[in-house]
Amino acid sequence: MNGRKRAAVKASSSSIPCVNQESPILPFRILQLPRRTIYEILARLPIKTLFQCRSVCKRFLRFISDPEFAKLQLSKSQVCILIKTLPLQNASKRLQIAHVESSGSNFQVSKLNFTPKSNLPTIEISHMNACNGLLCLVGSEKDYNFYVCNPILGEFITIQPPYKDRQRGSFWGLGFSTMMDQYKVLQSYYPVVESNNRYVTAEIYTIGTGSWRSIGNAPIDTVALPFNAFLNDTLHWFPCTPNGSEFIHTFDFNSERFGTLPPPNHFREDDKKFTNHSRIGVLEGCLFMIYFTNSNRFDIWVMKEYGVKETWTKQFVVENLYPKQGSWDFYEPMVVLNNGEILMLYNNDAVVCYNQKRKNFRGTKFFRTRSQFDATAYTPSLVSLNNVTKGEQISRMQGTKDYDKPTDFQDCVDCGVQLDNPICNFPTFGVAYGDVNYHADLYGRNTENRCAACADRLVTSMKSFLTLWNM
């Protein structure tokens, strides 16, 4: 290396506080890093760790509450599994979000639990779907309202239907229009008319306007709307009774029009009768659908380029299925782990893992419940309804704090214990390669507005942060 190149490398490296095995302990303040660098590091943390980091200090709180950071975090958010329990009658339902990583033959699982009245606006959740980390919940038959919420932040809005004396149709959903930068709720209903021809009408609610608009008749009345089926500003579903040449139906939130997507070339007319047993959704950022080739095998087809029929690809072949529990069993792919294994929901009562190399299934025990449950892929986010609802009345769920308003804290930010002498200021500390644990412990114990017990729980979060910094 010549002198000029050596000088250039030395100059560039000296401007970045890098850490390596040859360097001694290098003192610096994390907050002296460029804001964009801090954003890039934080955006890669699991949602539970990131949420804990909101309580580190006021500066971190402002960073993570920044709408610009929320968009960056959503683009890099790690796919989790959302569990909705289906308990016995008179028992409350709950949601659970789990971030799962593979570690050899084991799993590393980080969970967040959400209970009714604390993190959810209604106890009786009959259906739900998701869009950009926001959930749209539909209550029981007695509750005609829609609830759009972010359970991570404990925020929700209530959307009332224009009329409560008519029968709601079977399809609805939350979506987002990139062109208009607006969230919208779609629903179908049966008009109250004296006629034997019970056609279905669709209407749409643009969040922030406070009103519904009719968009004409809907092409179908009975659908199997999956939870994880929003992609490219469009909802996707299989109709329960397919008609016509296509059986992937869509609704585009940009044009507000219904449409269809072509299936893979080899699909035949007879395949439509099996859509009740198949699944459609989003896997690794692409639209997928399941095709059963026989009773002991199914293929997972992925549309590599959205809307282009020729890009349907047989991405996975799943063999050696479990012995049938009924006439048909249901498998729903949710997450592809970093070791290539696929986590799937099996018959709404188990999450199983398929190994592509060994071509076999194994059970998982990180979801324990006595009742049935629904599970699906879910991308959590820190998108605040304050930044997307444009005038809607936002409610906060019981037991959640308004973290978006930095104040001069007087209590422990975690447990609420009164602090006689809160510790303030980020510490100036050294970071040495291979010595992350020590400095994470030091950092966790010297953050502001935290009692000693809660500071211990923050240590794990800061280990994750510093580990990313050292990578």
Of the candidates 82, 45, 137, 84, the residue with the CA atom closest to the CA atom of residue 334: 82
**How far, in Å, CA of 276 to CA of 327, rounded?**
12
Which of the pair, 395 or 306, is modelled with greater confidence?
306
Cα–Cα nearest to 147, from 465, 382, 339, 393: 393
pLDDT tens digits, residue range 249-270?
899 999 999 998 988 887 766 5
Q: Specify the pLDDT at position 59.
A: 81
Provide the β-strand partners of residue 231.
234
Is residue 362 over pLDDT 80? Answer: yes
Q: Cα separations (Å) of 310 from 261, 282, 284, 303, 329? A: 12, 18, 19, 8, 29
Q: Return the structure tokens found at 141.
A: 């038959």
pLDDT of residue 418: 42
Q: Could you read off the pLDDT of 198-239 as tens digits, one per residue?
A: 678 899 999 999 899 999 888 765 666 666 789 999 999 887
pLDDT for the residue numbered 312: 95
Sheet with 372-378, edge to edge strand ranges: 106-114, 95-103, 80-86, 372-378
pLDDT at 20: 39
Is residue 179 very low, low, confident or very high in pLDDT (cuts 50, 70, 90)? very high
Looking at residues 328-353, what average pLDDT do you find?
86
CB atoms within 10 A of CB 213: 13
Share of the chain above pLDDT 90, in %: 19
- In this structure, are residues 292 and 274 in contact, taking their beta carbons and an 8 Å threshold? yes
The Cα–Cα gap between 250 and 225 comes to: 10
Give, in words, the CATH class of 78-387: mainly beta
Whether 443 shows a pLDDT value over 60: the answer reads no
Mean pLDDT, range 285-300, rounded to an integer? 88
- Predicted local distance difference test score (pLDDT) of residue 178: 94
Compute the average pLDDT of residues 409-429. 39
pTM score, whole prediction: 0.76
- Pick the residue with more confidence: 109 or 207? 207
Give the span between the Cα atoms of 292 and 290, in whole angstroms.
7
pLDDT tens digits, one per residue of 133-165: 898 888 766 677 888 988 888 888 999 888 766
pLDDT at 349: 77
Question: What Å distances lie between residue 419 and 54, 55, 59, 415, 448, CA to CA?
Answer: 19, 15, 20, 11, 10
Of the listed ranges 2-6, 296-300, 306-310, 381-385, the one predicted with least confidence: 2-6
**103-107, 203-207, 293-297: which has the minimum mean pLDDT?**
103-107
**Whole-number Å distance between alpha carbons of 76 and 132:** 12
pLDDT per residue over 35-94, tens digit each?
Answer: 888 898 888 888 878 877 777 777 888 888 899 999 999 999 888 888 877 655 545 566
Least confident of 89-93, 169-173, 290-294, 322-326: 89-93
> Domain boundaries in the chain?
20-73+408-470, 78-387
Whether residue 129 has pLDDT greater than 90: no
The pLDDT mean for the chain works out to 73
Which has the higher per-residue pLDDT, 421 or 139? 139
Q: So what's the pLDDT on residue 295? A: 77
Highest mean pLDDT among 167-176, 225-234, 333-342: 333-342
Q: How confident is the model at residue 419 (pLDDT cuts 50, 70, 90)?
A: very low
* Residue-level pLDDT at 364: 82
What was the pLDDT predicted at 104? 65
Least confident of 234-238, 296-300, 401-405: 401-405
Most confident residue range from 115-124, 407-416, 457-466: 115-124
